[in-house]
DNA sequence: AGCCACTATATCGCGCCGATACATCGAGTG
DNA sequence: CACTCGATGTATCGGCGCGATATAGTGGCT
């Protein structure tokens, strides 16, 4: 997930870890935040895998003086990195419909192919509907055994599931309308 | 978190890993699910720490007999385990107001002291309010730069934050009413 | 001068996940 | 009767991401 997000952000411009983490926090920050303890190791990993490359001369003392800052590793995308991002954009597997993954993928939705967008949206809807039905069943069956707090939690969950399903329906309808508009 | 949940569930009756995971999935399952890859190692850890103990093969047990003398590790709480659970019940730290922790703690709310319940609820409210304000700001500032999908996601997040704050307010009001009722 | 907040990188332990493997049992299907 | 399928049950492995922590220069406020 972090890999996907980093690769996506680096499409705009080369960046260093701190900035990357900040941008991450801003754009998709309300749904998913990544810590420095995730960002820096991931950057190393991506570099080792050849998906990103450290811009030369950025970490030397000489350059630091010019910035007036501490050692600063700026990374840029490689050709392989771009290719990898393209692959990840095409993914519509189960991890794209759960809470963590869905928000991140949506952040790059305008760059993902229309059919993949559709499959992600529909997968997410199935997910949320399952959750909704599970909560409905729990609430119906509870009545006696479950304590007040759990019931309240289930009620909140049920309402938010219903709301998200409605939200997804609107998005899906919009996607369909757009496709109809393009093809005939 | 899993430690807390397992200790809490074992208060009802001795259980084995599979059942524990199932109960976990049912009661707080819609908000947090734990995998077997978490449950079994955690059980081992808790056993090593002396918080739970493996029940010796109770041959009179109906279930066990029917099942044959298969490898079925049933764990029960120790005195230290109960003590530990009591400590965790008293915790109202930051981890109890984020998404993962809050749901789990709420599942054991009827067993947590009233003042701790209050601090958790208020902490959670502060959390959600921050998120809500962040989303409000993002939506206000966006307008141009942010693409449609991100904006939609922010809109959904904002609405669900508002809803949860209202829900928390009701719970808090109820708690206060209960305390007034008890103290005069 | 003292203090605090922000920028910036890095590492460590560990909680938890998903995949996978293995084995038994009951029920339904051909 | 054999076959398969799904639920029950335990276990391990690699790997991701988190929170805490260390280090350090910069800039502003008092």
Q: What's the pLDDT tens digit per position in B21-47?
A: 999 998 887 789 999 999 999 999 999
Which of residues 29 to 88 on B have a Cβ less than 7 angstroms from any strand D atom?
36-37, 40-41, 43-44, 63, 67, 71-74
Task: Say what the pLDDT of residue B142 is.
Answer: 62
Query: What residue segments make up the domains of chain B, in order of their start?
Result: 2-92, 113-183
Fold of the domain built from segment(s) B2-92: Arc Repressor Mutant, subunit A (1.10.10)
Q: Which residue of A has its CA nearest to B172?
A: A149
CA of B105 to C1' of D12 (A): 29
CA of B58 to C1' of C23 (A): 22
Q: Which nucleotide is nearest to B68 (CA to C1')?
A: C24
Residue A74 DSSP symbol: E
Q: What's the pLDDT tens digit per position in B79-120?
A: 999 999 999 999 999 999 999 999 999 999 999 999 999 999
CATH dotted code for A2-106: 1.10.10.10
In what helix (H) or strand (E) does residue B183 lie, and over which residues does it extend? Answer: helix B148-183
Distance from B64 to chain A by nearest Cα, in Å? 26
The answer to whether residues B104 and B28 touch, using CB atoms and an 8 Å cutoff, is yes
pLDDT-based confidence at residue B58 (cuts at 50, 70, 90):
very low
Distance from B155 to chain A by nearest Cα, in Å? 10
Q: What are phi and psi of B28, to 5 degrees?
A: -115, 20
Statement: residue A97 has pLDDT above 70? yes
Q: Return all residues near B93 (Cβ < 8 A) that are at least 6 apart.
A: none
CB contact under 8 A, A150 and B28: yes
Whole-model pTM: value is: 0.90
CB atoms within 10 A of CB B178: 12
In what helix (H) or strand (E) does residue A20 lie, and over which residues does it extend? Answer: helix A17-27
Pick the residue with more confidence: A128 or A27? A128
Average pLDDT, integer, range A18-36: 90
Size of interface A-B (CB pairs under 8 A): 76
Q: Which residue of A has its CA nearest to B155?
A: A167
Task: Give chain C positions with protein CB within 7 A.
Answer: 7-13, 15-21, 24-26
Instruction: Give the tokens for residue B48.
Output: 């090593």
Average pLDDT, integer, range A69-98: 91
The secondary structure of A120-180 as a DSSP string is HHHHHHHHHHHHHHHHHHHHHHHTTSS-HHHHHHHHHHHHHHHHHHHHHHHHHHHHHHHHH
Placement of tokens 């995308």 in the chain: A77
Cα B77 to Cα A99, B1, B87: the distances in Å are 33, 17, 15
Q: What's the pLDDT tens digit per position in A112-143?
A: 999 999 999 999 999 999 999 989 988 887 66
The secondary structure of B65-130 as a DSSP string is HHT-S----EEEE-HHHHHHHHHHHT--SGGGTSHHHHHHHHHTGGGS-HHHHHHHHHHHHHHHHH
């Amino acid at each position: 997930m972090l890999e996907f997000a980093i690769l996506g952000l680096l499409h705009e411009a080369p960046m260093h870890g701190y900035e990357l983490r900040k941008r991450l926090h801003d754009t998709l920050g309300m749904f998913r935040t990544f810590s420095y303890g995730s960002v820096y190791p991931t950057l190393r990993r991506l570099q080792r895998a050849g998906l990103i490359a450290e811009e030369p001369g950025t970490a030397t003392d000489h350059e630091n003086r010019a910035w007036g800052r501490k050692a600063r590793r700026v990374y840029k995308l490689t050709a392989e990195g771009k290719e990898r991002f393209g692959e990840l954009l095409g993914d519509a597997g189960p991890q794209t419909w759960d809470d963590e993954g869905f928000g991140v993928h949506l952040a790059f939705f305008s760059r993902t192919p229309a059919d993949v967008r559709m499959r992600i949206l529909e997968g997410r809807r199935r997910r949320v509907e399952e959750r909704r039905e599970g909560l409905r069943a729990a609430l119906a069956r509870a009545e006696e055994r479950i304590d007040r707090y759990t019931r309240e939690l289930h009620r909140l969950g049920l309402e938010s599931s219903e709301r998200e399903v409605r939200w997804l329906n609107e998005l899906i309808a919009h996607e369909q309308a757009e496709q109809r508009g393009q093809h005939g």
